[in-house]
Amino acid sequence: MTRVLCIANQKGGVGKTTTAMNLASGLALAGQKTLLVDVDPQCNATTGMGHEPTERHPLVDFRPLRESLLETYLPTLSLLPGARNFQDIDALANSTESQAVMVADHLSGSLGSFDTVLIDCPPSLGPLTRTALASASEVLMPIQCEYFAMEGLSQMIEVIRQVMQRPNSRLKFGGILLTMYDPALELTAEVDREVRDFFGEVVFQTVIPRDVAVSEAPSHARSVIDYFPRSRGARAYVELCQEVMERV
């Protein structure tokens, strides 16, 4: 069964796209046939992989998805690009419950040839994120180690619960990831303690350090694992891939 990991948090700038790109690349390098799906109208995952957003969003185009798949610099990693087209975004975002289910079916029906699919979500709890969650088997939530880290998490968790309760949902909590971790900061230690006390084992042991190589990599259309393999950021993402593969 294809694993579909949805990378979601309604907070902006917490490392969703960075995690989606690096996890996708790391799993592809480990030999898994991997697909990165961009449902964020910002299209950061698309441009970060060196591609242009498409005219029509492949998920509302209703052509077979495989016709929209793009190759990347890794033979085992494909990309389903995002679109900035407002009509399509509205169609996805204003879709009724039954349309959302159709999109989810469309996505899951076309994914059989992949071992793992990663969906990069926009910073919102709206229907785009709900549609992505509805088609996922796991949700992975990056949390940035900063003062407002825990704020808004209860709404996010409520939306995840609602999706889990849908009749055909196979969604599980895949894990919480601490990002932009700076061990020199007391605040980082505080967030780490608070998140682990509250969520327990669901929090990944691996933490992603704040590392300039991580933020530079997308401008070279590469994951940090390929751009600067010896960097702390790259090593952390490789470690995260191992943890994700162990958590099947």
Ligand X SMILES: Nc1ncnc2c1ncn2[C@@H]1O[C@H](COP(=O)(O)OP(=O)(O)OP(=O)(O)O)[C@@H](O)[C@H]1O
List interacting residues with ligand X (CB under 6 A): 12-18, 40, 42, 44, 123, 179-180, 208, 210-211, 214-215, 233
Q: Which does 48 bind (CB under 5 to 8 A by kind): Mg ion, ligand X, none?
A: none
Residue number, 41 or 106, with CB nearest to ligand X? 41
Residue closer to Mg ion, measured from CB, 17 or 137:
17
Contacts of 97 (CB under 8 A, 6+ apart): none
Applying CB under 5 A, which of residues 10, 25, 44, 76 lies at the interface with Mg ion?
Answer: 44
Q: Report helix angle 127-134 to 97-109, nearest 10.
A: 50
- Residue 18 in the binding site for Mg ion (CB under 5 A): no
**Percentage helix, strand, coil for the chain under 3-state DSSP, each rounded to 5:** 45, 20, 35
Nearer to ligand X among residue 88 and residue 120 (C-beta): 120
Burial of 28 from C-beta contacts in 10 A (0-12 / 13-18 / 19+): buried
Which among ligand X, Mg ion, none contacts residue 180 (Cβ within 5 to 8 A by kind)?
A: ligand X
3-7 sheet: strands from edge to edge: 70-71, 77-80, 34-38, 116-120, 3-7, 138-144, 172-181, 203-209
Question: Minimum CB separation from Mg ion for residue 81, in Å?
Answer: 14
Nearby residues of 160 by Cβ (< 8 Å), 6 or more positions away: 133, 139, 171, 173
Residue in the shown chain whose Cβ atom is closest to Mg ion: 17
> How many residues of this chain interact with Mg ion, rule: CB under 5 A?
3
Closest approach, Cβ 20 to Mg ion, in A, equals 8
- Minimum Å distance from CB 113 to ligand X? 27
Nearest distance from residue 17's CB to Mg ion, in Å?
3
Beta-sheet strands, E only, within the chain: 3-7, 34-38, 70-71, 77-80, 116-120, 138-144, 172-181, 203-209
- Binds Mg ion by CB under 5 A, chosen from 4, 7, 14, 17: 17
Separation of CA 36 from chain center: 8
Nearer to ligand X, 66 or 150 (CB): 150
Give the angle 242-77-24 at the CA atoms, nearest 5°: 35
The least distance separating ligand X from the CB of residue 96, rounded to whole angstroms, comes to: 25
Span near Mg ion by CB under 5 A; candidates 14-22, 128-136, 208-216, 218-226: 14-22
The piece of 25-33, 43-51, 83-91, 202-210 that touches Mg ion (CB under 5 A) is 43-51
Q: In the 8-state DSSP scheme, what is residue 110?
A: T
Amino acid residing at 229: P
Residues of this chain that interact with Mg ion (CB under 5 A) are: 16-17, 44
